[in-house]
Amino acid sequence: MSRLFSWEGFLFACLIVIFTFNAVAAPDFLSISNQINLFQLSIEKIILALVMTFVIINAEIDLSVGSMMGLSACTFGYLHQMGMPAALVILICLCIGVAGGLFNGWFTARLGLPSLVVTLATLIGFRGLARVMLEDRGIGGFPDWFAALGQKGLIGPIPFALISFVVLFFVLYILLERSGFGRKTYVIGSNRDVADFAGIDTARHKIIIFTMSGAAAAFAGLLYAARVGAVRGDVASGFELDVITIVLLGGVSIFGGKGSLVGTLLSILIVLNLRNGMALLSITGHIQTGVIGLLLIASVVIPRTKLATPSFLKPEVTP
């Protein structure tokens, strides 16, 4: 019952409204191909949002995910063009993601620098590397199996990326809500000092989460390369802001310690359905951006308005 009157409950109500509106207003909305496209068009961002939920609950931020996606996608294009086998290149790209994540984590957790600064630096740095590698070229001509993985259905009409998203959601859900690792994530996010006193190796924990984020970003970069079949230096630039928007809209507190993967999932569905509905109704990009912006403002303001808001609109407060 408490769940129903929580922020998640409010998001769920919003989702029902948007979904119903789309189904009535746009005749093609419910078609299977559109439902798959709806996810596919933003699949990389929503995969990143799942991992970003961990990062932000842990009271950190990772601004470098878009640039890491770009670096991974560009490395794939570059090395593949040099003639390396695609399977090996994929492995290298994932290793780059892990290394980049370790780098972010090390500087944040061990040296105590703010993650905002560290990942802002790597946002610029990773993007710089990607651009140095590809300069102003676009690279395409990937192997057929790689393109098919990104563009065609793997199980029936459902593509590999969407299956990955679903599997990742369940794995991360168990990790966050049903494991010691998840509980530590919340505790460290609420108060790192307390966690330290309690004997938790908070630095190690943070490094693991940043590494997860880096690896997920590299994976997302590969998915992007497969989906669009060509890469260039500006791949996924600015994606980090969309990812963070989704997570915050899902009720995850930017100060850490609060939030849930279910909230993120609901927020993902809201944003995707909203965008898809507007696209099907041929509403232009500027208005789409404006609507999502208003939604984010609402998500920040509504739960904090004490007087005017009925209690069910306030996010659950952990004692």
Q: Is 206 or 232 the residue whose CB approaches another protein more closely?
A: 232
What is the rounded distance in angstroms from the CA atom of residue 157 to the CA atom of residue 171?
23
Q: Is 10 or 142 the residue whose CB approaches another protein more closely?
A: 142
Which residues partner with 259 through β-bridges? none
164-to-2, 87, 104, 158 alpha-carbon distances in Å: 31, 18, 25, 10
Q: Is 9 or 229 the residue whose CB approaches another protein more closely?
A: 229
Q: Give the H/E segment covering residue 297.
A: helix 285-301
Count the Cβ atoms, other than its own, within 10 Å of residue 157: 12
Q: Is 252 or 278 the residue whose CB approaches another protein more closely?
A: 278
CB 41, min distance to another protein, A: 5
Count the Cβ atoms, other than its own, within 10 Å of residue 168: 16
Q: Is 35 or 191 the residue whose CB approaches another protein more closely?
A: 35
CB 289, min distance to another protein, A: 6
Q: Is 21 or 173 the residue whose CB approaches another protein more closely?
A: 21
Residue 99 CB-density burial (10 A; 0-12 exposed, 13-18 middle, 19+ buried)? middle
CB 24, min distance to another protein, A: 16
CB 234, min distance to another protein, A: 7
CB 240, min distance to another protein, A: 13
What is the rounded distance in angstroms from the CA atom of residue 226 to the CA atom of residue 95?
18
Q: Report residue 306: phi and psi, to 5°.
A: -75, -45
Q: Is 235 or 262 the residue whose CB approaches another protein more closely?
A: 235
Q: Report residue 138: phi and psi, to 5°.
A: -110, 140
What the block records as the tokens of 174 is: 């168990």
Sign of CA dihedral 5, 276, 253, 310: negative
CB 295, min distance to another protein, A: 16
CB 144, min distance to another protein, A: 12
Q: Which residues bind another protein (CB under 8 A)?
A: 28, 31, 33-34, 37, 40-41, 135-136, 138, 140, 147, 150-151, 227-234, 238, 275-276, 279-280, 282-286, 289
Q: Is 135 or 193 the residue whose CB approaches another protein more closely?
A: 135
Sign of CA dihedral 12, 252, 51, 151: positive
What is the rounded distance in angstroms from the CA atom of residue 298 to the CA atom of residue 312?
15
The region that residue 248 occupies, defined by phi over 0 for left and psi between -120 and 50 for alpha, beta otherwise, is alpha
CB 306, min distance to another protein, A: 35
